[in-house]
Amino acid sequence: MYIKEYSRRFHIIFLSFLVFFTFLIGRLFYIQFFHSQYLSSIAKKQQSLYIELEPQRGVIYDAGMRPLAINIAAESLYAVPREIKDKEKTIQLLVPILGIDYNYLKDRVYRNKSFIWLVRKITPSQAEKIKALKVKGLGFIKENRRAYPNGYLASHVIGFADIDNRGLAGLEVFYDGYLKGVSGWAFFLRDARQNKLNISEHMFPPKDGFDVVLNIDEVIQYIAERELDKAFKDYNAKGASIIVLDPYTGKVLAMANRPSFDLNYASLASVNSRRDRAICDLFEPGSVFKIVTASAAIQEKTAEESDKFFCENGSYKVANHILHDHTSHGWLTFKEVFEQSSNIGTTKIAQMLGAHMVYRYAKLFGFGQNTGLDLPGETRGMLKDFRVWSKTSIGAIPIGQEVGVNTMQLAVATAVIANGGYLMKPYVVQKIQDKQQKIIKEFKPVTVHKVISTETAERVKIILRGVIESGTGKLAKLDNFTAAGKTGTAQKIEPDGRYSHRKFVASFVGFAPAEDPAVVIAVIIDEPYPYYFGGVVAAPVFKRVAGEVLKYLKAKQLGTDKVAMLYETKRAN
């Protein structure tokens, strides 16, 4: 009886173990063949750490290979919330160091995650203070932060990048495809405590971005910005722009706007400060547009420089509109009409040409269309087809009313006279190269088309030289060089559609030296006060910029390094 009972218990225990082991074998079989991939992935996540390897963004250099946009090392703070024991204490320690919102940190630190960014690209001092806390669950990853050594200089041209080094404005976004590079990645092994071992299991190295070399010269840019800033402040202006071009190639040597902003703190700047007025803002050019009318009349042999026009003593009726001159004139020669900037004389010449011809030459000079500049945000301007002109348009468009332009269009149009009659495509970047300075892409001058003959350009050049020597642009006259140019004073349009008697755009476009131009300079001052005439407000800016830039270029051409270095030292200080 006892033996039978013992035998039965033995069989029960044996069968129980058999069922248990059968279950274990079945479970292992299931795991091995049906669940292995999932468990392997969990193990891999625990044993390996995936890190994206950031490429070095390309450097932006000026024409003299001086850096305008660079990368500097920065540390980014991350957290492993599951490993932070005292979360509240950790938050309290981090808030004063990082200077960020308590609730923001709390939201991130209390998440049930194995990795989360807290703050990207912090300062070295912040990183050192946090490391000194020795809080388990906090870590750092080295990244690159975009930096701009010159702050405000050429800010609208260079643009800026975001925290992930993606271009957002200016050249940074226009050439982002070349600058950003290609990210890499690596799997690093981790120990049982989840500490990173400096052993990579797999790695794909990042490919750094290409460097961009500009036509802009840092010294010329500094001169232009300094003088523009002075006029902007002296005349309490709403805005201002300046462009310096090489008339024969279309190279942009300098380009600036006011108000401006520091590229290192772009996120703090207002939208108004970040706007690239030189290519985004449209305005009626006023009398500087008379260059088109003068060129068309000479090219079409409609008038000669010695031909005389009666300027009606300052009052002339065009359809139902009375046109006025800023100063009353009687008889003026063709040359004097433009030297003295007579609206009435210019309108009479335009009436001889006809609306279709004025429109044709305005288009040839590049108005009403993009210049093709390699920067984002350029506006086409506004130029009405002659078939929809009103009866008064012939007395408005030839003198720079009822037409919308930007500063770059004026500079490019003026270059036509300076270079002998060719419309050139403006461009900021001269080449793109890799870190070994191997050229990836090079940009050359592009001639859009022939606008006027060389003879016509030379004759208009003489007229524009007269504007400075004996006309409305006397304050643009240089001390050691000849120059040619045109003044402009345009009334702005009020919200009710009428021309303002309080708001003006003062302008001057010109080139120097007159006989063999090295630079074209366009200066626009928006709503200057109390003075508003282009010959008073904008012409002196041209004089100061042209004078210093020509001295600097001559020093470079002659190879007098000491003189060129002196200019660079002045700029640096």
Q: What percent of the chain has pLDDT over 70?
A: 87
* DSSP assignment string, 404-429: BB-HHHHHHHHHHHHHTSEEE--BSE
In whole angstroms, give the CA distance from residue 571 to residue 573: 5
In whole angstroms, give the CA distance from residue 409 to residue 412: 5
Q: pLDDT digit string (tens) for 94-131?
A: 999 988 888 998 888 888 777 888 888 888 889 899 99
CATH topology for the 50-214 domain: Penicillin-binding protein 2a (Domain 2) (3.90.1310)
Residue 112 has a pLDDT of: 79
Average pLDDT taken over every residue of the chain? 89
Q: Tell how strand 239-245 and strand 252-258 pair up.
A: antiparallel
Say yes or no to pLDDT of 398 above 50.
yes
Q: How far is CA 343 from the centre of its chain?
A: 36
Mark 271-298 as b/e (b = at least 16 C-beta within 10 Å).
Answer: eebbbbbbbbbebbbbbbbbbbbbbbbb
Which one is predicted more confidently, 48 or 17?
Answer: 17
In whole angstroms, give the CA distance from residue 403 to residue 397: 6
Domain positions in the chain: 50-214, 218-262+275-572
**Alpha helix ranges (H) inside 134-289:** 155-158, 170-174, 176-179, 218-234, 271-274, 277-280
Evaluate whether 505 touches 286 at the Cβ level (below 8 Å): yes
Mean per-residue pLDDT for 330-348? 96
The label of the residue with tokens 């794909």 reads: 204
Residue 199 has a pLDDT of: 46
Which one is predicted more confidently, 39 or 244?
Answer: 244
Evaluate whether 564 touches 555 at the Cβ level (below 8 Å): yes
Beta bridge partners of 283: 405
Residue 146 has a pLDDT of: 92
**Residue 311 structure tokens:** 């300027």
Say yes or no to pLDDT of 217 above 90.
yes
Which of 92-96, 137-141, 280-284, 522-526 shows the lowest mean pLDDT across its residues?
A: 137-141
Architecture (CATH level 2) of domain 218-262+275-572: 3-Layer(aba) Sandwich (3.40)
Evaluate whether 473 touches 467 at the Cβ level (below 8 Å): yes
Say yes or no to pLDDT of 44 above 60.
no
Q: Is 287 a catalytic residue?
A: yes
Say yes or no to pLDDT of 430 above 80.
yes
**Residue 240 structure tokens:** 């201002």
In the set 287, 295, 341, 393, the catalytic residue is 287
**Residue 177 structure tokens:** 């495809």
Mean per-residue pLDDT for 549-567? 73
Q: Is 248 helix (H, G, I), strand (E, B) or coil?
A: coil
Residue 203 has a pLDDT of: 65
Which of 33-37, 54-58, 311-315, 406-410 shows the lowest mean pLDDT across its residues?
A: 33-37
The DSSP code for 498 is: S
In 3D space, the residue among 445, 566, 467 whose CA is nearest the CA of residue 512 turns out to be 467
Mean per-residue pLDDT for 391-397? 95
Which of 127-141, 179-193, 333-347, 512-526 shows the lowest mean pLDDT across its residues?
A: 179-193
Beta bridge partners of 76: 141
Q: What percent of the chain has pLDDT over 90?
A: 66
Mean per-residue pLDDT for 15-34? 70
